[in-house]
Chains A and B, each alone.
Chain A
Amino acid sequence: DTGVSQNPRHKITKRGQNVTFRCDPISEHNRLYWYRQTLGQGPEFLTYFQNEAQLEKSRLLSDRFSAERPKGSFSTLEIQRTEQGDSAMYLCASSDPRRGPYTGELFFGEGSRLTVL
């Protein structure tokens, strides 16, 4: 069990470019979450998958953001036409289906830091 893996760890891009982040959850974890964290703030929920189904999307997830989990394993988060306000840490987390709906803690990756110039 290698934990939640995120790539790339750092991404610097120019405004208007597209970026994609990948998350590999802990194997057998069927729940996968994306969060965004800006400096000095707590993580903000973006979206949640159970297996391949995207069950919830935050209002923070504008039309420029899209997330997929095609085979119920890894997930990608794409940001199109990046803006400077998109600069943040993007965190991925997964949770164990054997845990209850309220008790299952999230296991986080180390995050992907995005800087938009």
Chain B
Amino acid sequence: AQKITQTQPGMFVQEKEAVTLDCTYDTSDPSYGLFWYKQPSSGEMIFLIYQGSYDQQNATEGRYSLNFQKARKSANLVISASQLGDSAMYFCAMREGGERRALTFGSGTRLQVQP
């Protein structure tokens, strides 16, 4: 089974509007972390936001917020007031408990912001 599922291969949004990128995850560990990364065409992976499994409140970082619904195992990224520079690939990732420290990534969503 896929650990991280991103069902939207591509999304379009108008500049200045908000957009939600979907992410569902699968784990039986009670302790885990969820991450979102942005990958522009230049290729570098840029960390955006983190949510811990025990965090009571949804994480926010500037225009980015994470809509964390633990019972549904979803961790959707919300980008408010989209900008042209937000056009990129977006990846959801998870780090599970135990000795493993690596992130498992989803297949990504390509976001295109239109003027």
Contact = CB atoms under 8 A, between A and B. Distances in A.
Interface of A: 31, 33, 35, 40-45, 48, 50, 55-56, 89, 91, 93, 95, 101-103, 105-111
B38 to A, nearest CB: 11
Contact of A108 (B4, B44, B97, B102): B44
A42 B35 contact: no
Interface residues of B, number: 29
Given A42-B107, A56-B102, A110-B44, 8 more contacts: A42-B93, A42-B108, A48-B102, A56-B100, A101-B95, A105-B50, A106-B35, A106-B47
A35 B91 CA distance: 14
B2 to A, nearest CB: 11
Q: Which of A43, A45, A93, A110 has the most CB of B within 10 A?
A: A43
Interface of B: 4, 31-33, 35, 37, 42-47, 50, 52-53, 91, 93, 95, 97, 99-108
B42 A110 contact: yes
Nearest to A95: B101
Given A102-B33, A102-B52, A107 B103 contact: no
B104 A102 contact: no
